[in-house]
Structure 1
Amino acid sequence: MTNFSAPVGSSTSASGTAPVVVWSNTEEKRSGTPLLVLLHGHMANEEDLMGILDFLPDEFTVASVRAPVAQGPGFTWFPLMQDAAYSIDKVTSAVQEIIDWVDSIKDGHSSVTLLGFSMGMAVASSMLRARPNDYAAVVGLSGFVVPAEGNEFFRDEELEKNRVPFFWGRDQEDPVISADRIEFTHAWLNRHTKLTKVLYAGMYHSINAQELGHVREFLQICVPGVSRTPLSR
């Protein structure tokens, strides 16, 4: 959920079991560029995060992915953790589908970076845990990390030895993500990633321009081939 609308003229595509994706540029312009995969929150859709494009470094090809399960006005990746239907197997199944899709396109790009909002951060961090060497950096906004529950899908020990840059932005007054999830997430990120954590006042469960400025700077520092040009707005 953001305060920014999606750009006019964006297009979606789906092929076979591949997810619905909206791209920031045409296929002929994507080759060799760093890829940034956007993962939306619970009951949103692939258009939800496209409004942040103007804040991101120009070098990226951005692909915003739709979650697989229709729910409410949008889509979700897996059941909410407090729901009886939740299971770690449903998390890993959804995450594996996105990993498989990224595997099918990543050779055309110089690197892959992940950005997830809310539940999308749970997906992004789970992708990192399953493939500790695949991603240049990860951005998590107003979200959380799921407990592994001993599932071998999560290669946390391997990740701990090769810590990937991780940006975590949130508001301490976020009314959506519970205190116990925040406590777990903070401890896990400190132990397993090269963490940059920033708190924002008055943002609640959302994204603001100040945070996006920090995300831009983080990506410019952490992702090879991304220049440190200032935002011109």
Structure 2
Amino acid sequence: MTETTYKPVVVWSKPEAERTGTPLLVLFHGYLSNEQDLMGLVPGLPEEFTVAAVRAPVALGPGYTWFPLMHEPDFSVEKVTRAVADVWSWLDSVKDQHSSVSVLGFSMGMAVATSVLRHRPEEIAAVVGLSGFAIPAAGDPFFNDEAVKAIKPPLFWGRDQADQVITADKVEFTHAWANEHVDLTKVLYAGIGHGINAQELAHVKEFLTYKVLNA
């Protein structure tokens, strides 16, 4: 029996012929959204990157989800790790043609992005989390937080303190985890709610340019 590589629905910013040797930035959308949602950010990101937006695996309502919401009875850390393992299965099929891999997630997508990092931190150049959170892993060995802590990879975390979607317990855990494990750039934006504005996108571009492109 041969293993089949997981193949999610992916939208790319560059045609295949132009991707080799470029840094890769993978986008993870939020709850009930889809792979097209974050592609509007691409014009504001460094043009050197090839951007790939990935669709979450579970169809739900008007869009898709990576796993159940944390307060729902069917949520489990195992469902998170299953989704992230599938992302890594796909990443392994594309990453070797790129000079580096970075990840960006919005809302629940930040939970995916940080979990991708926490599984194999030595392979991720930088993480961008927008209006989101990290998963309390409860000691699950899938999350190699000791390795993350040893590397201290760069993480940009942008949010609005008035964001009504991401609950205080998630923010508190994410803040504590990030302060201990990563090289954190944390910026608060008033008035964006659960969203992204032009100033934040400009800061993300600066962060990726400095931390990944070394420019």
TM-score interval, normalised by the smaller of the two chains = over 0.9
Corresponding residue number in structure 2 for 1:181: 170
Q: Which has the higher helix share?
A: 2
Which of 34, 41, 44 is residue 52 of structure 1 equivalent to?
Answer: 41
Structure 2's unaligned 5+ residue stretches are none
Pairs aligned (count): 212
Corresponding residue number in structure 2 for 1:162: 151
Task: Tell me, in whole angstroms, the C-alpha distance in 1 between the residues paired with 2:53 and 2:170.
Answer: 25
TM-score w.r.t. structure 1 length? 0.89
Task: Tell me, in whole angstroms, the C-alpha distance in 2 between the residues paired with 1:192 and 1:103.
Answer: 24
Give the percent of matched residue pairs that are identical in Structure 1 and Structure 2.
62
Given the alignment of the two structures, is residue 92 of structure 1 paired with residue 86 of structure 2, yes or no? no
Q: Any idea what SS the aligned residue of 2:90 has?
A: helix
Instruction: Find runs of 4+ consecutive structure 1 residues off by over 4 angstroms.
Output: none
Q: Which structure 2 residues correspond to residues 65-80 of structure 1 after superposition, within 5 A?
A: 65-80=54-69
Corresponding residue number in structure 1 for 2:200: 211
Q: Any idea what SS the aligned residue of 2:123 has?
A: coil
Given the alignment of the two structures, is residue 191 of structure 1 paired with residue 180 of structure 2, yes or no? yes
Q: Judge conservation of contact 2:111–2:133 (CA < 8 Å) in 1.
A: yes
Q: Any idea what SS the aligned residue of 1:196 has?
A: strand
Structure 1's unaligned 5+ residue stretches are 1-14, 228-233
Corresponding residue number in structure 2 for 1:123: 112
Give the root-mean-square deviation of aligned CA atoms.
1.1
Q: Any idea what SS the aligned residue of 1:63 has?
A: strand
Task: Tell me, in whole angstroms, the C-alpha distance in 1 between the residues paired with 2:36 and 2:111.
Answer: 19
Corresponding residue number in structure 2 for 1:150: 139
Corresponding residue number in structure 1 for 2:122: 133
Q: Any idea what SS the aligned residue of 2:121 has?
A: coil
Q: CA deviation at 1:17?
A: 3.6
Letter in 1 for 2:150: K
Q: CA deviation at 1:39?
A: 0.3
Task: Tell me, in whole angstroms, the C-alpha distance in 1 between the residues paired with 2:51 and 2:170.
Answer: 29
Q: Any idea what SS the aligned residue of 1:96 has?
A: helix
Q: CA deviation at 1:78?
A: 0.1
Task: Tell me, in whole angstroms, the C-alpha distance in 2 between the residues paired with 1:121 and 1:147.
Answer: 13
